[in-house]
């Protein structure tokens, strides 16, 4: 029994360390337009970490680092889960977004053919379009894994 607990504790601490490392890589690579590192960080986070994040964290990180898929996943979880959106979550994602999510949730039980993803796309069209545009702007820059410092010495 002790061995199982130790393995779980080790696994949890490794995941926490990986999350801190990859979110730091994502932050810096986004800030410095190191696109290959940014893409790698997003892939690593998608593969191992994103499924562990709360919906508010998905929305916040997706907005901050221009990853529309995380925002969509976070919104989807809010719409389909059984529990209500907490006051803390509403403060984190914003009152207008919370209101839109509640409207989507109310639409679901009455209409069995309700398409959650289409509802999210319609309700958050402007926000999602801005994220996608920012993502594309980042992707259109020259890919680099290093920081380019202008030569100011003549």
Q: What does the pLDDT look like over 114-147, one tens digit per residue? A: 789 999 999 999 999 999 999 998 888 755 445 4
- 88, two tokens: 């803390």
- pLDDT > 70 in the chain, percent: 79
Give the integer Cα–Cα distance in Å for 110 and 133.
Answer: 34
Mean pLDDT over all residues of the chain?
85
pLDDT of 3 above 60 = no
- pLDDT > 90 in the chain, percent: 62
Q: Report if pTM > 0.75.
A: yes
Nearest C-alpha neighbor of 33 from the set 150, 129, 147:
147
Burial status of residue 46 (CB atoms within 10 A of its CB: 0-12, 13-18, 19 or more): middle
pLDDT, mean of residues 22-36: 93
Give the integer Cα–Cα distance in Å for 141 and 18.
Answer: 27
- Measured at the CA of 128, the angle between CA 18 and CA 38, to 5 degrees, comes to 30
Domain locations in the chain as residue ranges: 1-52, 53-144
For the segment 51-75, what is each residue's pLDDT rounded down to a tens digit?
999 999 999 999 999 999 999 999 9
Q: What is the Cα 78 distance to its own chain's centre? A: 13
């Amino acid at each position: 029994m002790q061995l199982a607990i130790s393995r779980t504790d080790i696994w949890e601490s490794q995941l926490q360390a990986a999350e801190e490392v990859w979110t730091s890589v994502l932050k810096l690579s986004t800030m410095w337009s190191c696109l290959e590192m940014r893409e790698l960080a997003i892939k690593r986070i998608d593969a191992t970490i994103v499924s562990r994040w709360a919906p508010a964290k998905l929305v916040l990180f997706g907005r901050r680092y221009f990853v529309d898929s995380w925002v969509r996943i976070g919104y989807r979880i809010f719409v389909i889960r059984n529990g209500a959106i907490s006051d803390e979550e509403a403060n984190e994602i914003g009152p207008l977004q919370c209101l839109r999510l509640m409207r989507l949730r109310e639409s679901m039980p009455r209409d069995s053919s309700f398409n959650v993803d289409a509802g999210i796309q319609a309700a958050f069209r402007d926000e999602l379009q801005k994220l996608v545009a920012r993502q594309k702007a980042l992707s259109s820059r020259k890919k680099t894994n290093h920081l380019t410092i202008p030569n100011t010495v003549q």
